[in-house]
Amino acid sequence: MAGGGAAAPPPKQDELVPHPVKDQLPGVSYCITSPPPWRKFGAVFASIPAPIVAALYCVLFAYVGVGGLSFLQFCNMNAFRTMFILAFSIFMGLSIPQYFNEYRSVKGYSPIHSSAKWFNDMINIPFSSKPFVAGVLALILDVTLPPKDSTTRKDRGMHWWDKFHSYKTDTRSEEFYSLPCNLNKFFPSV
């Protein structure tokens, strides 16, 4: 050790005491009250423990995923066309990014490899994302697969969205989108 001193023995288990909340409050008050306060938000977010961030990540992205899947409630999931689009896009959404990631780990570069790095990134990064590949493929298949008959529009769930194409077609719009404090007099709806 520098200075020739002996190292202090590690504290015993019964000597370890967690910091009380009152010891942490000055740091939080510094982050909140020091000028300019918008620079201190990063310090507040950086002080959040990693397990809390991981839990928030899991919960919030679960909500995002469920929100996206909730649109399937309007589709006819017994139609072969709908089942094919859903299953094929999920399968390819898992397979194509796996291929891109495996290719990069084996060869050291991605499948799209040219002299322009910006072009490589523009293609390789989106195709390494599972939600991007599945969503774009589902959109392309839903728009391009030819409908067999007039019930395909109903199978896709488009009939449910018809009443929301215009603001005036739904009677609840005025109440739902009204501004607080009777501001609709000054800012009328379109």
- C-alpha 77/C-alpha 92 separation (Å) is 19
What digits encode the pLDDT tens for the residues 6-55? 666 666 656 556 556 566 666 666 666 666 655 667 777 778 888 998 99
pLDDT in the model for residue 45: 77
The dihedral through the CA atoms of 28, 29, 35, 36 has a sign that is positive
Place of tokens 């769930």: 157
> Are 41 and 91 found together in one domain?
no
The upper half-sphere exposure of residue 73, i.e. CA atoms within 13 Å in the direction of its Cβ, equals: 6
Structural domain count, the chain: 2
> Are 82 and 135 found together in one domain?
yes
Distances from the Cα of 180 to the Cα of 80, 116, 140, 188, angstroms: 46, 52, 41, 12
Structural domain boundaries enclosing 46? 24-73
Amino acid at 44: V
What digits encode the pLDDT tens for the residues 83-92? 899 999 999 9
Q: Which of 75-79, 133-137, 140-144, 171-175 has the lowest mean pLDDT?
A: 171-175
Question: Residue 88 burial (CB < 10 Å; 0-12/13-18/19+)?
Answer: middle
> Are 38 and 57 found together in one domain?
yes
